[in-house]
Amino acid sequence: MSSLTGKRITLIITGSIAAYKAIELIRLLTKAGAEVEGVLTKGGAAFITPLSVEALTGKRVHTEMWDEHSYEMNHIELSRRADLIAIAPATAGIIAKIANGIGDDLASSVLLARNKPILLAPSMNTEMWENAAFRRNLAQAQADGAILVAPQTDTLACGETGIGKMAEPTSIFDAIETHFRSAETLSGKTAIVTSGGTIERIDSVRYISNFSSGKQGNAIALSLAQSGAKVSLVVGNTKEHAPKHPNIEIIPVESAEDMKVAVDAKLPADIFVGCAAVCDFRVSNKSDKKLKKEAGLDLQFEENPDIAKSVGTLRKEERPHLVIGFAAETDELIHHAQKKLVSKGCDLVVANDVSQGAIFGQDQNTVHFVTRESIQTLDTLLKSKVADAIVDWIRERL
C-alpha cells in the first residue's frame, strides 16, 4: 500500500507558468490513492482553469475566501481537513506572505491559519531566487517548518538560464511521499528537546545569559515532530519563534533550574536532546531589587544543575532510550566532546566550534557526531538539515 493512500492534500496553485505542471502532480497523487483539494489563486487561474483542476481532483476548486454556496470558512477548513498543504508552484510572493504572516486572500489565509505541515515547490526567475530579501523569506519559511523541494537550473520561461525552474512533478511527488513515510517512522515516540539559552538573574533588571539563538534546537524539535514523535520543546531565552506543529508542545522557561524542572516533569520519554545553552553558574546572592551602581557588585556564584547529565545517568528503566547532548567549544573540540559523552552518559554528542561567536544566530552549522564507536564530520549544512541528520541517526537506532 502506498504511503499516500487515504492522505488528504490541499494543493495551492499560484501564478507561475509552471502552474500547468500542477495538473500532472494531481494525477500522480490521486493515482497513488491521495485525496487532493485544489486552491487556485487569481494568478494561478491566469494559467490554468478551475475546471481542469476539478476534473482531476473530483472536487470543487476553491478560489474565494467566502463561498456563497457553502457555510464553511474555507481558509480554516482547507487546513483542518488536510494532512499536508502543498504549494506548487510557489511564487516569491506567496513565500513572502508565509514568512511575514500575511493573509490577504484565500491561499495566504489558509497558510496563515494552518495547523498542518506545508511543502513548497518554488518557481521564479534566477535573480528573484537569489535576491537577498527573498532568501530571508525562504529561510524564515523553512525555520517555521516548510519543506522545500528545490527548483532546477535550466532555461527559464523568460529565456534566461539559471536556477528557478520548478521541480518536475515526479520530484515533488517523491518529496510528498517521503514526507508521509518519515512522518510515521517515530509515531508513538515521545521526545524532550531543550533549546535557546538560559537567564540567570543578578537583580530585578539585570541577568547573565549567552548568545544561543535557539535555531538549532527548534529545528531538531520540528524534524522530530515531522517524523511523528510527540515533542516537548523546553525553550529558554531566544528571539526565535518556536516552530508551529501539532506534535510540538512549547514549554517556556527562564533559568537553568526552571529548565530542569520542566524536563523532569516530561520524563519518562523515548528521546532526549539537550541542545540548549545552559548557563553553568547562577548568582547565589541575586537581589529582588535593582542594585545601585554606587554600591558596587559583589556577586557570588554556584553551579547550575547539569540537565543532560541528570537525564543521561538515570537508572536504565527511567532513562530515555537515546540521550543526545551538545558540545559547543572553542578549542580541543573532539576531546571535550568525548569527555562529555562519558561524563554525561550520552549516546551521541553533537560537537560544534563556537570560536569568536561562530554558529550563534546563523542559519548554517558545521557539526561532528561523536559516539563511543566513531566520529563523523558532516558538511556545513543548514541547521534544518543538521536537525534532519540527527533525527535520521535517532531513527536508525529506534
Residues labelled as active-site residues: 158
Beta-carbon contacts of residue 232 (< 8 Å; ≥ 6 apart): 190, 191, 192, 193, 249, 251, 262, 266, 269
d(CA 259, CA 237): 11
For residue 149, CA distances in Å to 120, 137, 141, 143 come to 6, 15, 13, 15
**What is the end-to-end Cα distance of the chain in Å, rounded?**
23
Select from 173, 170, 223 the least CA-distant residue to 11: 173
d(CA 164, CA 265): 47
Count the neighbouring beta carbons within 10 Å of the beta carbon of residue 40. Answer: 27
Q: Alpha helix (H) ranges present in 103-228?
A: 106-112, 126-130, 132-143, 169-182, 215-226
Q: Quick check: helix, strand or coil at residue 273?
A: strand
d(CA 266, CA 357): 32
- Identity of the residue numbered 24: E
d(CA 283, CA 287): 9
Grid look-up 486552491 returns 39
d(CA 116, CA 137): 19
Longest dimension (CA), the chain: 78
Contact 219, 241 (CB under 8 A): no
Contact 246, 293 (CB under 8 A): no
- Identity of the residue numbered 236: G
User: CA torsion sign, 341 to 345 to 348 to 351?
Assistant: negative
The answer, yes or no, to whether the previous bond of 243 is cis (omega within 30 of 0) is no
Grid look-up 504511503 returns 3
- Cell numbers at 51, concatenated: 475546471
